A and B are shown apart, each in its own frame.
Chain A
Amino acid sequence: MAVINFIIENILTQAAITIALIAALGLILQRKSIGTVLSGTFKTLLGFEVLSAGSSIITSSLTYFGKIFSHGFHLKGVVPSIEAINGQAMNQLGLGNEIALTFLGIFIVNIIIARFSPWKYIFLTGQALLWMATMTTIGGHAAGLSGFPNIALGSVIGGIFAVAMPAIAQPIVRKITGNDAIALGHFCTVGYMVESGAAWLFGERGEKKHSLEEMKLPKSLEFMQDTYLSVMVVMVPLYLITAAFAGPKYGAIGANGVNYMMFAFLQAIQFVVGVYVLLAGVRLLLGEIVPAFRGIAMKLVPNSKPALDCPVLFPYSPNAVIVGFITTTIGTVIGMFFFPVLGLAVILPGMLTNFFAGGTAGIFGNAVGGRRGAIIGGIVHGLFITLLPALLVGVLTHMGFTNASATDSDTIVSCLIYAWFITPILKAV
């Protein structure tokens, strides 16, 4: 009995072990050799630890940023970063175990829905599923759930999103790709539909509709060629300007004699390093689990429609990606100044989301409303993806998150469903 208790209390409560065991289960179900199972399990364990290290780096940088922002502008400045939210939830808030099991649960619910319903979508973007598991677990916790009920509800909600979002996007995806072979598996679909709606309202129609692909765009976005460089291009000025406003007294907190502007610069770099390490950990963590489980899913639902990550659409409309990125960024900058007027937190523009979600949204806007649709729709999309994390800040601050909010509109919507609907229902029961 003592041994069982020891295993339950000291081993199975460790998120790293849980997620490694999930990987082992996937590999065993695939009848892999003992060597492959062992190496896959340990790689997953290693991935979790690398993710934790990245999370610590990001949190320390964000804590500094939060302090200088509040002293510099007397406002709450929030960096939208789903990576930071995932890292903090998994480590600092101790939700890693539940997130890992919800991640597995979402996979299972997705397979069940695809197997027994007419919606045959299998969501193949592992990283997005991890973000969804993170946000449903956070939402459940905010609603007062924990343990099995939280995992079960999160799995069902996440599993429904995994099928519903590709299904909702599919009519426009068909229009973009010209066929029905593949679907879009990216949890920013609510944002894409908002952009499509705006493009339909304000865009071009009929013979007046001109695609962005008929235009020639200048080649002047070299900094976008490197993902981390693009994050740095935004974070460095952001930290430096904020430190300048905060002044040497607050800007030098924890600097150990280093000039406060130099220290702010180094902290901005630390943020980028944190994202780099955390994402390397995520890749290592999912490297074994995702192939194992998607193999199982494809075998159980052979006639499935794979929902793939957003770059699958880039080739069909490359100009729209760039226009979508630029217009979404403009929208996020407007939102950064506008929403605090309404009493919401200052949400700083997140370049990774602006590029991938904004770019894909641009493709949707262009397909629905041509050039004008993509441009106006992009700005509306930028405002929308700034509003969502701002609405979520209250829930996250209450739970103890440090100066960060989520990105990826669908994951935020799932968390808001908990905050706005499930929590009141649970309280009323």
Chain B
Amino acid sequence: MFGLFKKKHAEKVSPVETTPTLSTEETEQLKVECKTLVGQVDSITGDDRINMLNHIGMINEKLDQLDDAIAYFEMSLKEKEQFGDAYNGLLRLYEEKRKQAAYGKDDDGIQKWVTKMDDLMSISKRVLKSNY
């Protein structure tokens, strides 16, 4: 009726936004880089470690390994609450995961990712106020 139900079926199968496709060579290169950085990151401290954690997060995001990307970005933000790559990356990825949970009708998943977005809002307020 009125084509509404057809649209509904079409929407169900519509995929969640994905990152641009990488060539096999690029993928392999990034995997090697990621492995190297993961091996080094525990021996580094301070801002260099934060930058490296963010970099590993970004590589994982490019490789479409969203859970790993989230883990590294979260580690970075936990060690140093600041605005930048980790915060922006997490906002993007939580929304991506929230969408996946919504398409999968996964209630707990939706709550989990929306709550994490709420936590990011609190971090945002905290970081801003602590800067001034």
- Contacting residue for A318 out of B91, B102, B114, B128, CB 8 A: B128
Q: A220-B132, A225-B130, A318-B83 are in contact. Are A303 and B121 (CB under 8 A)?
A: no
Q: Which interface residue of A31, A311, A312 has the most chain B CB atoms within 10 A?
A: A311
Residues of A within 8 A of B92 (CB): 179, 181
Chain A residues closer than 8 Å to B107, beta-carbon distance: 30-31, 295, 299
CA distance A318 to B128 in the complex (A): 7
Inter-chain CA distance A359–B127, complex, in Å, is: 14
Is A303 within 8 A of B11, CB to CB? yes
Q: Is the CB of A217 within 8 A of B121?
A: no
B51 smallest CB distance to A (angstroms): 17
Contact present for A303 and B117 (CB under 8 Å): no
CA distance A299 to B12 in the complex (A): 11
The 8 Å CB contact of A306, one of B11, B103, B114, B128, is B114
User: Shortest CB–CB separation between residue B107 and chain A, in angstroms?
Assistant: 5
Could you say which residues of chain A place their CB within 8 Å of the CB of B11? Answer: 302-303
A-contact bits for B74-96, CB 8 A (1 contact / 0 none): 00000000011001100110011
Q: When the two chains form their complex, are residues A291 and B121 in contact, meaning their CB atoms are under 8 A apart?
A: no
A315 touches B87 (CB 8 A): yes
Contacts between the two chains (Cβ within 8 Å), count: 86
A308 an interface residue at 8 Å Cβ cutoff? Answer: yes
- Chain B positions within 8 Å of A428 at CB level: none
Determine if B124 and A291 form an interchain contact, defined as CB atoms under 8 angstroms apart: no
Report the nearest A residue to B82, measured CB to CB.
A315
Q: State in angstroms the CA–CA spacing of A220 and B132 once bound together.
A: 6
Please name all residues of chain A whose beta carbon is closer than 8 Å to the beta carbon of B120 when the two chains form the complex.
312
Q: Which of B83, B114, B132 has the most CB of A within 10 A?
A: B132
A308-344 CB contacts (< 8 Å) to partner B = 308-309, 311-312, 314-316, 318, 321-322
Report yes or no: A302 in contact with B102, Cβ–Cβ below 8 A. yes
Inter-chain contact B131/A318, CB cutoff 8 Å: yes
Complex interface bits, A273-304 against B, C-beta within 8 A gives 1, otherwise 0: 00000000000000000010011001101111
Which residues of chain B have C-beta atoms less than 8 A from A303's C-beta?
A: 11, 14, 99, 102
**Set of chain A residues within 8 Å of B121, measured between Cβ atoms:** 308-309, 311-312
Task: Choose from A182, A217, A299 the contact partner of B110 (Cβ within 8 Å).
Answer: A299
User: How many of B's residues come within 8 Å of A, CB to CB?
Assistant: 34
Whether A222 is near chain B, meaning CB under 8 Å from some CB there, is yes
Pairwise interchain contact B88-A295, C-beta atoms closer than 8 A: no
Is B40 among interface residues, defined by CB-CB distance under 8 A? no
Q: Is the CB of B103 within 8 A of A302?
A: yes
Cα distance, A225 to B132, chains bound together (Å): 8
Beyond known contacts A303-B11, A303-B99, A321-B128: 18 more, CB 8 A cutoff: A30-B107, A181-B96, A182-B91, A217-B132, A221-B132, A222-B132, A224-B132, A225-B132, A291-B115, A295-B110, A298-B98, A302-B103, A303-B14, A303-B102, A314-B83, A314-B127, A314-B128, A315-B84
Counting chain B CB atoms within 10 Å of each CB, the highest count among A30, A291, A306, A315 belongs to A315
Q: Which residue on chain A has the smallest CB distance to residue B11?
A: A303
Question: For the complex, is B129 an interface residue (Cβ under 8 Å from A)?
Answer: yes
B9 within 8 A of A: no
Residues of B within 8 A of A225 (CB): 129-130, 132
Q: Residue A219 at the B interface, CB < 8 A?
A: yes
Determine if A219 and B132 form an interchain contact, defined as CB atoms under 8 angstroms apart: yes
Report the minimum CB–CB distance from A306 to chain B (whole Å): 7
CB distance from A84 to the nearest CB of B (A): 22
Contacts of A302 in B (CB 8 A): 11, 99, 102-103
Name the interface residues of A208-228: CB closer than 8 Å to any CB of B: 217, 219-222, 224-226
A124 interface residue, CB < 8 Å from B?
yes
**Known contacts A299-B105, A303-B99, A318-B83; A311/B111 CB under 8 A:** no
* B130 / chain A contacts, CB cutoff of 8 Å: 225
Q: Could you jot down 9 A-B contacts, CB within 8 Å? A: A181-B91, A217-B132, A224-B132, A225-B132, A291-B111, A295-B111, A304-B102, A312-B120, A314-B128
Q: Which residues of A contact B84 (CB under 8 A)?
A: 315
B6 at the interface (CB under 8 A from A): no
Collect the chain B residues with CB atoms within 8 Å of residue A220's CB: 132
A315 touches B127 (CB 8 A): yes
Q: Which of B83, B99, B114, B129 contacts A294 (CB under 8 A)? A: B114
